[in-house]
Chain A
């Protein structure tokens, strides 16, 4: 009985740890999602599972749909016409530091852009986070799903989200 209780405790502790790990970017979104000056877009796993049943016409669309079927959620948090872009960028990057690995950083005169990924044991990407901070804008995007770099590159080619074009040429070796 004692052993069973210990096992139960261990299972609950692991759930708690998993929940904490999964909530790093979530905590950042939660901090600002009720702020009316931000634009928030959320697409749920249910929506993606419905997309998965749509039968696309041509071959290109079919390939894109295969990738979309692997997506489990998308969240975008953005603030336009703001001077807080660099501050929010630094804050979001600090939130993600420990759990995510940096994939790419682009810095120019006016803006910073960072892609971070969370990988599983097989080397597949479980979550891609993109942060953009410029002198007049901030954007954070979280894309959840089991993907590889080729598939991320395919998504980058197929969507019109500021900054994602930088991933168009990323390929798995």
Chain B
């Protein structure tokens, strides 16, 4: 993913956001100020299991810089070389979303989202140890609202 981003440095506006464990812990500490909010408690619990969030954005007005073939290559590289598995794919007009993950049976594990909209191409990488049961708790919490 880093290699992919580096390929476009110089030819497009590229931004990288890295949120590490410390920043995530700080975020969950802020959420713990409101101890009565059940939503905040659920998010805090989920955040405990997120190790790192990386985001790369590449300006890509109407797909002029990052082509669909480039995105397809990145996707197949992730599947072939990094052992990611495709979860779902949605393409509507110029917009594209691919969601892949690499984790054990009951783990969401390492998640990659490739998102292309009209103006930008975005790669989101969540490194987590979230289990399906954690996601289940989040769903239950938000469904109860």
Q: Which of A60-82 contact B (CB under 8 A)?
A: none
Q: How far is the CB of A26 from chain B (nearest CB, A)?
A: 15
Q: If the complex has contacts A54-B132, A54-B135, A54-B136, are A41 and B89 also in contact, measured as CB distance less than 8 A?
A: yes
Does A123 reach chain B (CB closer than 8 Å)? no
- Is chain B's binding surface mostly helix, strand, loop or mixed? mixed
> Given A40-B89, A44-B87, A50-B132, list of 10 further CB < 8 A pairs?
A34-B68, A36-B93, A39-B92, A39-B93, A40-B92, A41-B91, A44-B85, A46-B87, A50-B108, A55-B136
Residues B88 and A54 in contact, CB atoms below 8 Å apart: no
Which of A34, A41, A46, A50 is the one whose CB lies under 8 Å from B86? A46
B-side interface residues, number (CB < 8 Å) = 22
Could you say which residues of chain B place their CB within 8 Å of the CB of A46? Answer: 85-87, 101
Does B37 reach chain A (CB closer than 8 Å)? no
Residues B88 and A44 in contact, CB atoms below 8 Å apart: yes
Does B106 reach chain A (CB closer than 8 Å)? yes
Q: If the complex has contacts A55-B133, A55-B136, A57-B143, are A50 and B87 also in contact, measured as CB distance less than 8 A?
A: yes
